[in-house]
Amino acid sequence: MKIEFPESLPKSGALAVAVTKDKTLSSTAKLIDQQTQGAITRALKVGRFTGEKDQVLELVAPAGLNLSRIVLYGLGDPKVIDALALENAGGNVVQRVSGTGDSDVVIAVDALPRCKLKTPTMAAEVAFGARLGGYRFDRYLTDEKPEKKPSVKRLGVYAKNAAAAARAYERLAEVAEGVELTRNLVSEPANVLYPASFAARCEELKDIGVKVEVLDLAQIKKLGMRALIGVAQGSANEPRVVIMRWNGGAKADDKPIAFIGKGVTFDTGGISIKPAAGMEEMKWDMGGAGVVTGLMRALAGRKAKVNVVAALGLVENMPSSTAQRPGDVVKAMSGKTIEVINTDAEGRLVLADVLWHIQQRFKPKVMIDLATLTGAIIVALGHNHAGLFANNDRLADWLLEAGLATGERLWRMPLHDSYEQDIKSPIADIKNVGDRWAGSISAALFLKHFVNDGPWAHLDIAGTTWCYKNQPTVPKGGSGFGVRLLDRLVADHYERGGAKK
């Protein structure tokens, strides 16, 4: 979908205009109402549309215009309109019009009394939401009928000072590229996306200035990543560790921020095999690695003024005659020994070695890992929040703020030493699972054993990596959850010249 910022209203196609709380028409809506002899006013009198946030009403072919349809989008109370409301409006309009057959739609964005946001910023956020909401992963649909495909090909966002709106959108467009990359990776089937092919996709980021290093099995063995190798040893697909660097800070030797992603490209559970029902969803057990890759695309694309190192542990967890067994003991790269009670608790073994390697090699100022780590976090939080575990209150607060600002919500979970008994092993330093209770907490505590005293946070995104029901800016499928969140964290608190320090 091509996005433009025209300087005039369209003469054809669909036009979307804003209505705020209590059926208050925006200036463009008033203009269209006059040109159609009150078509909008009449529609508001006989329907339930009141202009509340997220409401959408479609009027087909009104008299007096050559447009195909008018779409009314609600924004609610102007005093509380924020970026998320505008993004949702853009997504709602595109999703509605995409089912009509129209290929062109223009969304009019007007200055609103008592709204705190400037019009160019509003227009950019609407365009951002429309792009996210118009995403679709359809590369394997070869015989879909044309009438079933989304119809919108061109989106215009009309606002006063179109040039300023286009400039404001430039940064958001790069973030959208990162979100879309993550969604694409998460949506790929495991026969297409496996450790080596995932690493190859990461290498494509070299084109925008990201330094990419791919470690193969021999190099991983040399480093002593035995916990990671144990997970991978049952698969014909050898593991990879990918290290990506973006150096946009004031000084090349400034300590970086580190992001680490779990990348289990398919998880059968290994010898502790999962039930067959729903196992196909385990193609997205690499969601954490997908988010980290998309984040690097976003940061490099918008030339973020910060030094970042990202690391992915890429493995496939399969059952075979060479697979790791329950009861095995492995020595992690740190030297700590781990009793493997359940081979389906594999992601923490992968992260243990990658976390250790990154902190020893790069000495980052902060580390954040992301992983579809536990089903227990879904039991606790459902699909509305990701779990946040942190050893630093300030970092936790910053992440929570970024989650609220971007709509990618987090909920802080306890990380208390009283849970340590759950992962105490009788024959090794620790074991990789506890009992059935507090599973996401014991998993996070396991990871804490491989983190030194620096600020660290773990995001358990098992419940938010896949969207099961269409949302305005997140169509059903891979969600891209985490890219916007972490980009906002970097911009607000770590980037040179950022909004907050």
Length, in residues, of the chain? 501
9-41 in b/e burial notation, b at 16+ Cβ within 10 A? bbeebbbbbbbbbebbbbebbeebbeebeebbe
Q: At which of 128, 158, 188 does a domain end?
A: 158
> Can you give the pLDDT at residue 497?
53
Spatial distance between the Cα atoms of 232 and 270, rounded to a whole number of angstroms: 9
Percent of the chain whose pLDDT exceeds 90: 96
| 3-state class (DSSP) for residue 237 | coil
pLDDT in tens, 271-312: 999 999 999 999 999 999 999 999 999 999 999 999 999 999
| Residue 405 is assigned to a structural domain of this protein | yes
Q: At which of 108, 128, 158 does a domain end?
A: 158
> In which band, very low, low, confident or very high, does the pLDDT at 61 lie, cut at 50, 70 and 90?
confident
- The CATH number of the domain where 261 resides is what? 3.40.630.10
Domain count, the chain: 2
CA dihedral angle for residue 269, residue 295, residue 410, residue 475, rounded to 10 degrees:
-80
| Residue 372 is assigned to a structural domain of this protein | yes
| 342-351: average pLDDT | 98
| 424-446: average pLDDT | 96
- Whether pLDDT at 501 is above 90: no
- The CATH number of the domain where 55 resides is what? 3.40.220.10
| 448-462: average pLDDT | 97
Q: Are residues 112 and 258 in the same domain?
A: no
> In which band, very low, low, confident or very high, does the pLDDT at 250 lie, cut at 50, 70 and 90?
confident
What is the residue-averaged pLDDT of the chain?
96
Q: Does 348 qualify as catalytic in the annotation?
A: yes
Residues with Cβ < 8 Å from 196, sequence gap 6 or more? 237, 238, 240
Q: Does 226 qualify as catalytic in the annotation?
A: no
Q: At which of 158, 185, 209 does a domain end?
A: 158
| Residue 369 is assigned to a structural domain of this protein | yes
| 477-486: average pLDDT | 98
| Residue 501 is assigned to a structural domain of this protein | no
Beta strands per DSSP E along 126-224: 154-158, 211-215
| Residue 500 is assigned to a structural domain of this protein | no
> In which band, very low, low, confident or very high, does the pLDDT at 182 lie, cut at 50, 70 and 90?
very high
| Residue 105 is assigned to a structural domain of this protein | yes
Q: Are residues 246 and 293 in the same domain?
A: yes
| Residue 499 is assigned to a structural domain of this protein | no
Q: Which residue is catalytic, options 53, 131, 297, 348?
A: 348
Residue 422 lies in domain: 176-494
> In which band, very low, low, confident or very high, does the pLDDT at 499 lie, cut at 50, 70 and 90?
very low
Q: Are residues 190 and 91 in the same domain?
A: no
> Can you give the pLDDT at residue 216?
98
The single-letter code of the amino acid at 195 is P
pLDDT in tens, 116-150: 999 999 999 999 999 999 999 999 999 999 888 99
| 34-45: average pLDDT | 95
Q: Which residue is catalytic, options 274, 365, 409, 448?
A: 274
Q: Are residues 242 and 362 in the same domain?
A: yes
Q: Are residues 333 and 471 in the same domain?
A: yes
